[in-house]
Every structure is written in structure tokens, then in C-alpha cells.
Amino acid sequence: MPIIESIPNVSEGRRPEVIAELVRAIEAVPGVRLLDHSSDASHNRSVFTLVGDAAPLKAATLALFEAALAHIDLRSHSGEHPRLGAVDVVPFVPIEGATMADCVALANDVAASVAEQFTLPVYLYEEAASDPARRNLEDIRRGEFEGLAAKMASPGWAPDYGPAQPHVSAGASVIGARMPLIAYNINLNTDRLDVARKIAAAIRHSSGGLRYVKAMGVMLEDRNIAQVSMNLTNFQKTPMFRVFEMVKREAARYGVGILESEIVGLVPSAALLATAEYYLQVEGFNAGQVLENKLRA
Amino acid sequence: MPIIESIPNVSEGRRPEVIAELVRAIEAVPGVRLLDHSSDASHNRSVFTLVGDAAPLKAATLALFEAALAHIDLRSHSGEHPRLGAVDVVPFVPIEGATMADCVALANDVAASVAEQFTLPVYLYEEAASDPARRNLEDIRRGEFEGLAAKMASPGWAPDYGPAQPHVSAGASVIGARMPLIAYNINLNTDRLDVARKIAAAIRHSSGGLRYVKAMGVMLEDRNIAQVSMNLTNFQKTPMFRVFEMVKREAARYGVGILESEIVGLVPSAALLATAEYYLQVEGFNAGQVLENKLRA
């Protein structure tokens, strides 16, 4: 069975009884597994991680919208995290037996149903974007809920689905498809934050580096270690090993070495298998040779 | 559910109708999956790969013995491959959710039942061996079926289970537990077979190298490339990356580089994940962070 992951971000992180309702709405849908959820009170935001095939994921997403719209009113919502809607962002991610095209189709299908069922404007983003100007979530979300009515009235910001005005309490939602993110940090054997920042600038896309890397230099104050903190947004096109080797090379230019690296949260096995293939210079390998894949075929 | 792999080797590789009977015997047992089987006429031998939990694997092994003993008579058997019994060797391999201790217990359990049900002598080998002199299959099998009666009468060769004389038509069987084997070859960018042989001698256990490496130098005649051909018999204790780096270092001593490497057949994902962790210098990683493991937990 194909496996797609969805990571809806909802604008509620403070009321446990509402969060419990959202969890119940997702878990009531057969064929969907809620792998994880976490809530942040200062962000006033919750993130859910669910997996399943397209049809049950669509049903769970619609159930989540229904519960969220019943309980969340952005006119009285505040929090540190920028947000445009009650259900702020819903990405679909291909994991196994599903392609990016499947996830783009699912994003469109869900967006159309959400718009119709809840009379809610929906923007498509990332791989599902209808226009390059809408690929980046930050560009769509700029102005937030409070600036949404004015933004929607300005040229170029008609939604992809739904009405041309914000939903009075739920704003608008951003739905799309993207590759799995890998949160990857490399710790340097130095306390020089300037070195970590220079490496981050060299490696990240926004300042001339690798296409699918977001990076910044940060200080691990408790250990007095400088860190290059990264998000790898497409591990197939910008693989982990190339990022690691580039950071290592840039660090050497300052006489600095790599202390260790760190994978935060989940990582697709394909990202690590490709790394092993690279360093072992393996030729002619295929995923069917991995014993566990064979067992589950 | 725990997954154990079993790879019985049977002394019949020429009569398709007998091989089909053996396959049927295995496949009739619920809870066991026959992943693969192959037969070699010149070796006059067939190898089966099956997986399952302990109880169904035991049932399938006993069914295989019953079918094999009904059709195979070693007194009229010939082939290039050395053999001691009709069912020659049965290793049990821990794959997932099962330990080596589980496989040693299963080997003993199956050996006792085989000995009792078929009045057949059984030797335990590798991790299940009762004595260091019996760890290596080659030592147990030396003398083959034809020399078995004399060997069993000599000091130190009483079987671990069953009668002190060979079964008249089925000889004896060797049952045990071992780690998964990885067949791993490294191709050198040279046509010098002597270099591949020197590297093989340096890296293999038998001549002073790494504990869980068997290696030889061979020539890929069609490509005019020298190859270090290896079996890695315990990838946890002698990991792939250490083998690769040692071969690379030894090759450099002759001015030779590594062209590529090759994994033949199946490889446990843990062997490749450990390789990625090593080269990326990942700290604090656990298998639960691999997305696919999380999905299947």
C-alpha cells in the first residue's frame, strides 16, 4: 500500500481540550495512523504527523479542518509563530510507493474539497504551486491573518481554490506537496560562531550555495560549540553526503574540523542508504537488495 | 513479530520433481515465507531461503527433512560441492526482533527434534557450537558422507544430538546459528592480481586480518580488473566501512586506488545505516529515527 505523510500545522497550542478534539478527529478515520503530535504554547500552534494512503489521508484532513474550524477563531488568536489560517499549512510528502505527482494530485483534491465544504480560500505551495511566486510558504503567509483581506484584494493573490475573501474566523489555508525535510546539524570543533555563520552562508541556497539547503550558524552555549544548523529540503537532489563534505571543506579553510553531526527527528532510510553507497563507492546496487525491503515486498 | 531467516542447503540439485517436493513441503507450513530457492546441477545441491518466527520455521525445517530423507540417498549422490548429509546444513540467522541467543535456542530445539524424529545424527556449528572445534562448518564436514562412519567412530566426533552412527542414506546434518553474511567485493583500478591477493591476505582473519572477514584476490577477466572478493561474516563486529577503509589503505601502499565496490545479493539495512553514521560522524542516532522503522513500529 502506498504511504504518504501529512504534517498539518494548526493554530492552537494552548487549549488541551481543543487539541484532544483534533487528535480524536484524526484518529477516528480508518486507514490513517497518527505517528506524532506536539503543541507549543508560545507559538500557540500544534503539529500533527500522520501517514496513510491518499483516500484516508484526505478524509482525515477534512475531519481535522471541521474540528479546527469549530473551535479556532483567529480574530482572538495570538502567538509567536506567523499564521494565515486556523489550519495553517498542510503538506503532503511521498514516503513509499507514492510519487511527488501523487502528492500534488492529492493536494489539489484536498484543496478543492476544503474550499467547497468550508467556503475557505486555499493556496497551493511548494511542488503543488500553480505559480513560482507561490512556491515558498513564507511568501504566501507574509502579512498573516491580519493582512489577509488586503492581500487577497491585491493583484496576483487570488486563491487557487475557494472564495476571493478570507474566511471570517479561519482565514485561509496553504496546502501543498514537498519532499521529506531532514533536520541536520553539524557541530564544529571550535567556539567561533563567525566560522559557523560563514560556512552556513557558503552552503545555503539563499546566499549562493546548494539548491536544497537552508542553513544558519548557531552557538551551543552549554557546550561552547559552534554549529551549522540545517534543513535539507530535498535529500535526493542535494544529498546528505555532499552537504557533509562541503561543510568539512569550508571548515578546513578556517583550520576547523568537524566534531560530530546530528540528525534531529526522522530521516528516510533512502537518505542514509545513498550515503553508504557514496562512501563505499558501491556500483549497481538497488533497494531490493536491502534485506528488510525484500522481507516486506 | 520476530523474524528469523533460515537457509537450508539440501543435497539435490538435479531432479526437478524432487526439488518441487521440497518447495511444496516448505510452502505448506503457515507462517513461513520462502523468499528464494536455487539449484545447481554440477554441485547437485539446492539452497532455500525462508523467513518466519521460531515455531513455524521449526515446522518447515522438519517438513523439509521429511521430504528430503524420503527422496535423497547419499550412497548414490555425487556433485562438486562437499556434503555430509541429505539435508546438509541448516543455519538460523537473527533478522529483526530476534537475538542470536534465540537462534541458538532454535538450532538446539530443531536439532533435538530432527535427531529424534529421523534417528539422524546432528552436529551444531557456528554460534550454536558446543565446542570451539566445531564452530567451522568445514571442520565438521571434512571427510564428507563417505568418511562419516570412520569420523564418527574417532575421538571427539560424537554428534551433539542423535545416534553415534550415520543415517544409512542421509548421513548427518549440521544445524546452527550465525549472523547474516554479506558478500562484498571491491574492484581495484589495476589489472594486478598479485595486489588483490596481497590485500586479501592482509584483511582476512585466517592470515592475521580482521576477525569476521574471509577474502581472496580474483581476476575479472572480461574487464581485466583485479578484485578483492570477500564474505563479511559479522557486520556488527567487523563493519563494512572498516573493511572498505582498510582495503583502500592497503591498496594505496601499491599505488592502487578503489574503482568501485559491489554488494552481491542481500544486505541488512543496519550494515548500511552504520556506514552512513560512520562517515557523517553522526552522534546520538537510533534506529527509531529511520522513518520506515517508525512507520512499521
DSSP A161: B
- Give the pLDDT of residue B151: 97
pLDDT reading at B221 higher than 80? yes
**Pairing relationship of beta strands B3-6 and A213-220 according to DSSP bridges:** unpaired
| Number of other CB atoms surrounding residue A53 within 10 Å | 17
What is the sign of the dihedral through the CA atoms of B281, B286, B292 and B295?
negative
pLDDT tens digits, A22-65: 999 999 999 999 998 989 898 899 999 999 999 999 999 999 99
pLDDT, tens digit (0-9, with 9 covering 90-100), for A173-200: 999 999 999 999 999 999 999 999 999 9
Average model confidence (pLDDT) across chain B: 95
Q: How confident is the model at residue B244 (pLDDT cuts 50, 70, 90)?
A: very high
Q: Which of the residues B37, B43, B71, B81 is marked catalytic?
A: B81
Give mean pLDDT, residues B136-146: 94
Put residue A234 in one of left, alpha, beta given phi > 0 → left and psi -120 to 50 → alpha: beta
Q: What is the pLDDT of residue B63?
A: 98
Report the Cα B142 to chain-centroid distance in Å: 17
User: How far A278 CA lies from chain B's nearest CA (Å)?
Assistant: 9
Q: Is B95 in CB contact (< 8 Å) with chain A?
A: yes
Give me the mean pLDDT over the A164-177 stretch.
Answer: 98
Our CA angle for A248, B277, A94, nearest 5°, is 100
Strands B225-232 and B213-220: antiparallel
Rounded to whole angstroms, the Cα distance separating A111 from A106 reads 8
Cα separation, B27 vs B20, whole angstroms: 10
Who's near B80: CB < 8 A, 6+ residues apart? Answer: B42, B43, B44
Side chain identity at A9, as an amino acid letter? N
Mean of per-residue pLDDT scores for chain A: 95
Residue type, B291: L
Neighbours of A76 (CB within 10 A): 7
Neighbours of A17 (CB within 10 A): 7
Q: Smallest Cβ distance to A273: which of B272, B284, B294? A: B272
Chain A environment of B295 (Cβ under 8 Å): 3, 33, 35, 51, 95-96
Q: What is the pLDDT of residue A115?
A: 98
pLDDT-based confidence at residue B247 (cuts at 50, 70, 90): very high
* ipTM beyond cut 0.85: no
For residue B266, give the chain A residue with the closest CA. Answer: A289
B37 an active-site residue? Answer: no
CA distance, residue B238 to nearest chain A CA (Å): 15
B292 touches chain A (CB under 8 A): yes
* CB neighbourhood size of B258 (10 A): 17
Contact assessment for residue A230 and residue A184, using Cβ atoms and an 8 Å cutoff? yes
Q: In 3-state terms, chain A is what percent helix, strand and coil (to 5)?
A: 40, 25, 35
pLDDT given for residue B291 in this prediction: 87
pLDDT digits (tens, 9 = 90+) for A212-263: 999 999 999 889 999 999 999 999 999 999 999 999 999 999 999 999 999 9
Whether the per-residue pLDDT at A296 is higher than 90: the answer is no
Q: What is the CA radius of gyration of chain A?
A: 21
Closest A-chain CA to B180: A291
CB pair distance less than 8 Å for A276 and B276? yes
One-character DSSP codes across B246-278: HHHHHHHTTT--EEEEEEES-B-HHHHHHHHHH
pLDDT at B297 over 70: no
Using CA atoms, how far residue A124 sits from A104, A151, A157, A169, B145, in Å, is 9, 16, 12, 20, 72
pLDDT (tens digit, 9 = 90+) per residue, B150-208? 999 999 999 999 999 999 999 999 999 999 999 999 999 999 999 999 999 999 998 99
Mutate: best of B272, B277, B283, B294, partner A, most A CBs <10 A: B272
pLDDT value, residue B288: 85
pLDDT(A292) > 90: no
Residues forming beta bridges with residue A217, ordered by sequence position:
A228
**pLDDT band, very low/low/confident/very high, at A297 (cuts 50, 70, 90):** low
pTM, to two decimals: 0.79
* DSSP single-letter state for residue A205: G
Report CA-CA distances (Å) from A210 to A100, A170, A204, B105, B182.
21, 37, 6, 52, 35
CA distance B262 to chain A (A): 5
DSSP per position, A127-156: TT-SSGGGSSHHHHHTTTGGGHHHHHHSTT
- Distance from C-alpha of A245 to C-alpha of A239, rounded to nearest angstrom: 10
Per-residue model confidence as pLDDT tens digits over B93-121: 999 889 999 999 999 999 999 999 999 99
Range with lowest mean pLDDT among A17-26, A99-108, B193-202, B214-223: B214-223
Q: Which range has the top average pLDDT, A257-261, A292-296, B291-295?
A: A257-261
Q: Count other C-beta atoms under 10 Å from residue B63's C-beta.
A: 18
Cβ pair A31, A55 in contact under 8 A: yes
DSSP H helices, B119-207, are 137-141, 148-153, 193-203
Please answer whether residues A213 and A204 qualify as being in contact, where contact means their C-beta atoms are separated by less than 8 angstroms: yes
Stretch A7-30: mean pLDDT: 97
